[in-house]
Structure 1
């Protein structure tokens, strides 16, 4: 799957070897949430989440708290990881 900014996205289950918490996730990964109901996608600011909830927050725990900003759906939303190009 590809984000509109040409970032390759993958489900967080496929990226488990890259880190299971915000602190373990390499800097070149971005977090994107996708709504199961309306398919809206939005970027998640990992530094803001880390400051509020702690950098030891697991990606599984983060995925369970996702809520769509467009339709307010909180069920079945996905957390996707995008790998930024590295020069």
Structure 2
């Protein structure tokens, strides 16, 4: 799936039914995000992306019930899912 130049810096939501290529798209996109030192938030319910892409030297792994606070004013609660940020 081609992306318009510089559109990768916008928000992207990847959805689809089983077998539509969501995992393949992310397997191609995540290394490019890391290469360009951009950021991503990955909700990984199976652990597959964590196993493949997580780097403990530079990524942040948040457990399933951890509260995240950014800039002292924005909070987010994540339930029943594994998240990491690159």
TM-score by length of 1: 0.28
Structure showing greater radius of gyration is 2
After TM superposition, the score normalised by the length of structure 2 is 0.28
